A and B are shown apart, each in its own frame.
Chain A
Amino acid sequence: MTDAVATREALRVVGRPVVRHDARDKVAAATAYAADWALPGMLHAAVLRSPYPSARIVRLDTKRAAAMAGVAVVLTARDVPRNTLSTDVPGQTTAVGPLRATLHVLAEGRVRHQGEPVALVAAETLELARDAVEAIEVEYEVTPGVFTPEAALAPGAPAVHGTGNLLAEWRIARGDVARALSGAKVVVEGEYTTQLVDAAYLEPESGVAWIDSDGVITIRLSTQVIEHFRDVAEVLQVPHNRVRVIGTYLGGGFGGKEDVTVEAYLGLLALKTGRPVKMVWTRQESLLSRAKRHPYRLRYRTGAAANGEIVAQQIELLADAGAYAYLSALVLLYSTVTAAGPYRVPAVEVDARVAYTNNPPTSAMRGFGAMQTVFAYESQMDRVARALNIDPVAVRRVNALRRGDTLPVGQVIETHVAIPEVCERAWAALGPRAPARAPHLKVGRGLACNFQPYGRIVWLHDWASAWIGFEMDGSLVVRCGCPDVGGGQASSLCQIASEVLGVTLTRISVHVSDSALTPLAGTTTASRQLYMSGNAVLKTARELRAQLLRVAAPMLGGDADELDMDEDRVVTADGRTLAIADLLRECARVGVPRSHLGVYHAPAGEPVDLATGSGKVFPDYTFGAHAAEVEVDTETGVVRVLAYAAAHDVGRAINPQSVEGQIQGGAVQGLGYGLMEEVVVEDGINLTTSFATYLIPTAADVPDVRAVVVESGEGLGPFNARGIGEPPIGPPAAAIANAIEDATGARITRLPITAERVARALGLLG
């Protein structure tokens, strides 16, 4: 792109905190979420799930359930035309060879994790469907399982699948690490443990399917990926164009609605019964069965010179994939690429492995593997600074990547790296230090940076498309297959179209997330949607504008290049105007289309060999820093976050209010990760399948988050924006751990940082 960096003053709509169109509908409760949908004659569906983490299915008898009055159908694996879902890379690209991962739609002969789906029921009422699930007879023979990645990789461990338990492995070796470590002024060693956590969106997985009047199996559901219509078609063994997915506005996604959830089940049940079917998972079911964030064990040896410069990082990562691969290999790739942090490190070794276990499966969640590593590399950075008596901002400034630097994986950083600015601004935003309220209440501060890729891996050849058209009255329609997860995705597309075409925001209708009726735009994942759909809308709007102004030029007498579109008119340099409706009538008369379909292709590349550091993996990165002030009760270990500031270089804020919202919300999710959230699993059994036991932050648990929006004017998105969906969740855990050490001298290396762990680290528990 040859976008000139527009100044904010030159922009009319982009860069302004406009009110989102969806906010009005949502405060009025007029938004119809996936579960807020009903059709005449609709059946209700329920899933039978395995109570065991590892067992053989000896007998599965559905006769009694199927014979119950009001039960329409009971399905098991043998009723599924193709009982395999590919979960490698959702979206428009599926050929990734070695990363291909599959799972069964319904269990075949064996279950590998608690909650694995075994059978489906559709019945006249939800109560009947649940009763019928209870009436299905299953005899299990419990088999030995493995419940930690270490145990899974030990010789002689029970195999979760036919192959060995090592699912994927990535390595990086750059420079002479042993030599650099031996020459370092200090070498800091640390082992860190991160936990299993859940996306815990408030809207459970839900949807309704029906066979539409044209015979197309139509599934209206809460999803981040409408392209799963293809996966459903494969399962049903019908042509891809006979399945349509309508994505609703989501009640939260955070990666948890990236893999297939209810859509394959709904498609099957609608096809088998010919009737509309609704499926809504209970909260317990959602917490039990949804793929979660990978727990990691991270071992770091970090060497630094006397001036604080990191000279080497030796890193070993081990992650738990749970029972199915899902996106584990890619999550681990993100960890591997980001393992050394947003810093210049001449010598780096990364050895990263992910193993199958009989634990709950893990897959995408906001941060996607570039998250667990932050806790380790930023704890290490802080320990280096302490060892050398350098202040936390200075040590990061010394080490920060700069444009033109090469990451250990061989990727050259091509845009501005704002690490020094975001560190300084986040640190300063904490304001004056709070005085200690009592001698046993220690106050401390911590800083943590991160970098998060935005956009998909370059060898996936990502693209997005959009259609924009004028109605004859001058109102505008934007169509784009972009799911809106609540981050304001659709609203930002309206702002971009408004900016280019000069149409008032209130005169724009936007249709998103329909695999049949909106041009496909790829997944709302990987912090890619503003970048990709935003660029698609920008490109389409510019091409449509040029198309229309070529008609306007002779009407106004002048050169098309000198015309502007503003306030629903065409305007000449000397202030003459042409109403848009008049221009559209002229277009109709002369046969020039008033609409346009545009496709944006992201810069693509070839697969890289990580080990040899051969090149580009991601399009670009978003850089940030968070600063926390905590109060630690040294008698109980209770940690209270007193102040919190989060700064990210977003390139250009399309809607500053939405950007702040992403930063604040991501930071609080990250605080949940750092301080309280944990899916507790014992021998494969999930002990936290309710919101009473799986705790996420409430309004009373967290402070205000000061969002600092830095705009470098450099990024690959529309108007030089960078992705900001995932980045803010990364730094909080490390910022808190660093603040606790600042307050008490105790270093916490295991998440979540509960009062008990702090008390133990303070020696209070003996």
Chain B
Amino acid sequence: MIARLVLNGRPREVDVRGNQTLLEMLRDTLGIFDVKEGCDEGVCGVCTVLLDGRPVSSCLVLAAALRGRAVVTLRGLELNGGLHPLQEAFVRHGAVQCGFCTPGMLLTTLAFLEREPRPDREAIRAALEGNLCRCTGYTKIVDAVEAYVRGESGPQ
């Protein structure tokens, strides 16, 4: 069957199996590897994409059910080839170690900040609860988000 979606701003029609998830379509069919796969059961948040602006686990979305909705992956954030200021904040604050959770973490954060532009650390932690990180212990991720919210580029 045909999945219709707007992927990072461009309309796409993709031939998919009826049981194929959005995650499988992105990675296996389209070779879009900026979406990672961590658990395939909607728990870890690694495969987060924005669906009409809201963060979802792409492993839980059926591709054929998209019906023209807008999907944004991390690559969709690029600003004229440069990094988004939130990405810049992650780099400068050491919020990235292995980096496997990072794409999902960034997308969840941006969607959250659309709703709540001035969160405190506790609110940031609550918002990121669905995105697991096994390396950083979260402190530097929260530091990076907080700095971005304050409009600071970073310590250097």
Q: Provide the residues of chain A in CB contact with B121, threshold 8 Å.
A: 704
Asked if A4 is at the interface of the complex by the 8 Å CB criterion, the answer is: no
B99 touches A201 (CB 8 A): no
Instruction: Contacts A23-B91, A699-B129 given; indicate if A33 touches B36 (C-beta within 8 A).
Output: yes
Q: Provide the residues of chain B in CB contact with A690, threshold 8 Å.
A: 39, 41, 43
| Chain A count of residues within 8 A CB distance of the other chain | 58
Asked if B4 is at the interface of the complex by the 8 Å CB criterion, the answer is: no
Asked if B75 is at the interface of the complex by the 8 Å CB criterion, the answer is: yes
Instruction: Contacts A202-B132, A283-B38, A665-B136 given; indicate if A27 touches B97 (C-beta within 8 A).
Output: no
A702 touches B41 (CB 8 A): no
8 Å CB contacts to B: which residues of A19-36? 19-20, 22-29, 31-33, 35-36
**Among candidates A19, A203, A249, A704, residue contacting B38 with C-beta atoms closer than 8 Å:** A203
B41-65 vs A, CB cutoff 8 Å, 1 = contact: the mask equals: 1011010000000000000000000
B46 touches A202 (CB 8 A): yes
Closest B residue, CB atoms, query A44 = B28
**Among candidates A22, A127, A666, residue contacting B99 with C-beta atoms closer than 8 Å:** A22
Q: Provide the residues of chain B in CB contact with A27, threshold 8 Å.
A: 83, 87-88, 90-91, 96, 99, 102, 106
Interface size class of B (residues with CB under 8 A): 35 or more
- Interface of A (DSSP majority class): loop
Asked if A94 is at the interface of the complex by the 8 Å CB criterion, the answer is: no
B135 touches A691 (CB 8 A): no
A252 touches B137 (CB 8 A): no
A24 touches B135 (CB 8 A): no
In the complex, identify which listed stretch (A50-58, A64-72, A481-489, A512-520) lies at the interface while the others stay far away: A481-489
A19 to B96, CA, bound (A): 10
Q: Provide the residues of chain A in CB contact with B69, threshold 8 Å.
A: none
Asked if A669 is at the interface of the complex by the 8 Å CB criterion, the answer is: yes
Q: Give chain B nearest CB distance to A154 CB in angstroms.
A: 37
**Among candidates B41, B100, B124, residue contacting A251 with C-beta atoms closer than 8 Å:** B100
A60 to B140, CA, bound (A): 51
Instruction: Contacts A35-B37, A202-B101 given; indicate if A29 touches B140 (C-beta within 8 A).
Output: no
- Of A29, A201, A669, A698, most buried by chain B (CB within 10 Å of CB) is A29
Q: Provide the residues of chain A in CB contact with B36, threshold 8 Å.
A: 33, 35-36, 202-203, 251
Asked if B66 is at the interface of the complex by the 8 Å CB criterion, the answer is: no
A204 to B138, CA, bound (A): 20
B73-113 vs A, CB cutoff 8 Å, 1 = contact: the mask equals: 11100100001000110111010111111110010000000
Q: Provide the residues of chain B in CB contact with A660, threshold 8 Å.
A: 94, 140
B100 touches A252 (CB 8 A): yes
A707 to B74, CA, bound (A): 30
Asked if B155 is at the interface of the complex by the 8 Å CB criterion, the answer is: yes
Q: Provide the residues of chain A in CB contact with B131, threshold 8 Å.
A: 699
8 Å CB contacts to B: which residues of A666-712? 666-669, 690-692, 696-700, 702, 704-705, 707
**Among candidates A20, A661, A704, A707, residue contacting B142 with C-beta atoms closer than 8 Å:** A704
Asked if A200 is at the interface of the complex by the 8 Å CB criterion, the answer is: yes
Asked if A193 is at the interface of the complex by the 8 Å CB criterion, the answer is: no
A690 to B103, CA, bound (A): 22
Instruction: Contacts A251-B36, A700-B129 given; indicate if A691 touches B156 (C-beta within 8 A).
Output: no
A668 touches B138 (CB 8 A): yes
Q: Provide the residues of chain B in CB contact with A22, threshold 8 Å.
A: 96, 99
**Among candidates B34, B39, B102, B156, residue contacting A19 with C-beta atoms closer than 8 Å:** B156
Instruction: Contacts A35-B37, A204-B38 given; indicate if A23 touches B99 (C-beta within 8 A).
Output: yes
Query: 6 A-B pairs, CB-CB below 8 angstroms?
Result: A27-B91, A204-B37, A252-B135, A661-B135, A692-B43, A698-B128
Interface residues of A (CB under 8 A from B): 17, 19-20, 22-29, 31-33, 35-36, 38, 126-127, 200-204, 249-252, 254, 280, 282-283, 485-488, 657-658, 660-661, 664-669, 690-692, 696-700, 702, 704-705, 707
For the complex with contacts A19-B92, A202-B44, A691-B38, 19 further pairs of A-B residues with Cβ separation under 8 Å are A17-B155, A17-B156, A20-B91, A27-B106, A31-B99, A201-B98, A202-B36, A202-B38, A202-B98, A251-B98, A254-B134, A283-B41, A486-B100, A661-B137, A665-B134, A668-B137, A691-B41, A691-B132, A699-B124
Closest 5 CB pairs of A and B: A486-B98, A26-B99, A251-B100, A668-B137, A29-B34
